Structure formats: C-alpha cells, structure tokens
Amino acid sequence: MKSFITTLFSLFLCTVVFAQSEQYSNAMKAYLLKLKDAKTPESFQAAANGFERIAGSEQKEWLPKYYAAFCFIMQAMNTADKDKVDGILDQADKLVVDALMITNNDEILCLQSLSASARIGVNPMTRGMKYGQISAGFLAKAKELNPDNPRIYYLEATAKYYTPKAFGGGKDKAKELFEKAVVAYSKFKPANELMPDWGAEQTMQLLEECRK
C-alpha cells in the first residue's frame, strides 16, 4: 500500500511539473512571436514586459531574463531620443546580471557585447574606443566557450562594418566576417525552439551591402 501511495504521489508530481513546463514553454513561444514582429520602441517594450513577467514566475530560468534584456537592447537601438539610451541599456544589463547568476554561456556573452555596442550609438566619436573594446572582450570570451556560435561573427562583422576604415573597420574587413557568419549560421541548430536564433537575416542584409 505504501509503495502504491508513493508511486501515485510521484505520478502526481510529474504531472504538475509537466504542466508547469508546458505553460512556461507556451508563454515563451507567445512572446518570442511578439519579439519577432516588434519594430518600434513601444513594441520592444511590450515584449520585454512579457518576458519579465515570465522571469518573475520562473526564477530558475535564464532565457526569460535573456530575452527581456534583448528586447531592451533593441528598444535602445531603435529609439530616436539618445538621452534615453543609457537608461534603457541599464535595464538590459541588470537583467543580464540576473541571468548570469543562473548560468554563464556564450549566448549571454554575445548579448553583453551587443549591449556595449549599443552604447556607442549615443556618441560614436567619444564612445567608440571604450565600448568597442568592451564589446570585443565579451565576444572573445564567447568564442572561448563556443567558437561555432554564429552570433559571435555576426557581431564582429557588424562592429567592423560601422567602424571607419581609418580605425581598422570598413566594408572589406566586415565582408570576410559576414561570410564567416553565413557559414556558421548554415551549420547552427538551436538546442530547442526557445534558444536564441537571431542574426542570420541581418547578416545577409549587411553582407549584400558590403558587396555593393
């Protein structure tokens, strides 16, 4: 009888965990669709709010924090008011720190690199060197963990693309890295449908610009 009760309780726990897991997965998929369709600062903010709510409920999951941070970075990069950029990125960086308390991986490092690069846009002349080095440092660490991550080469190429030739950038140098990113994206397969899978479309767009 005791064995039967133990088995029944175990089955109940498995059912509850499965239901919670399915609820989490469905919520994440819904907001990933919102993120995919986001184009404006307001739509990125709405997606970020959703991921933050999920993060509040799923304290042990790093992906909701990651995507909320990604949304804030996209919002910062698409806002016309440069005075707001640092404040938005501060929100992103806080979420990244929270994600790092759960795990440290190449995807989070790529996100840190993207956030640092986004700060350059406020004033490229005064911020380019400082934040460019910070961004590159994160990518170097990401490459140590997983040299097959295509976002590393996409972000490296983008940095070269927007860096003037006089400072070691330009389309020619960016083109080589974008081509490397294309190869990496062709081989890359996310571990599951919730894992990061961005940058391929932007890589192709900028590669075409480099070829002109």
pLDDT tens sequence across 131-169: 999 999 999 999 999 999 999 999 999 999 999 988 889
Section 79-96 average pLDDT: 97
Query: What's residue 20's pLDDT?
Result: 57
Query: What's residue 3's pLDDT?
Result: 54
pTM of the model: 0.89
| Residue that has been written with the tokens 């972000």 in this structure | 155
Largest CA distance in the chain: 80
Does the pLDDT at position 2 exceed 50? Answer: no
Would you list the DSSP string of 95-140?
HHHHHHTT---HHHHHHHHHHHHHHHTT-HHHHHHHHHHHHHHHHH
Q: Are 141 and 116 in contact (CB under 8 A)?
A: no
Angle (CA) 118-121-123 rounded to 5° is: 135
Does the pLDDT at position 14 exceed 80? Answer: no
Query: What's residue 166's pLDDT?
Result: 85
**Rounded-to-5 percentages of helix, strand, coil across the chain:** 80, 0, 20
Q: What percent of the chain stands above pLDDT 90?
A: 87
Query: What's residue 38's pLDDT?
Result: 97
Give the list of residues 6+ apart from residue 38 with CB closer than 8 angstroms, or none: 44, 46, 47, 71, 74
pLDDT tens sequence across 92-106: 999 999 999 999 999
Q: How far is CA 85 from CA 15, 77, 132, 147, in A?
A: 44, 8, 16, 30
For 58: left if phi > 0, alpha if psi spans -120 to 50, otherwise beta; the answer is beta
Dist. CA 206–CA 184, nearest whole Å: 16
Tokens of residue 43, six digits = 């739509």
Q: Are 171 and 209 in contact (CB under 8 A)?
A: yes
pLDDT tens sequence across 22-66: 899 999 999 999 999 999 999 999 999 999 999 999 999 999 999
**H-only helix segments in the chain:** 2-37, 41-57, 63-78, 85-100, 106-120, 124-145, 150-162, 171-187, 200-211
What does the mean pLDDT of the chain come to?
Answer: 91
Count of other CB atoms within 10 angstroms of residue 46 = 16
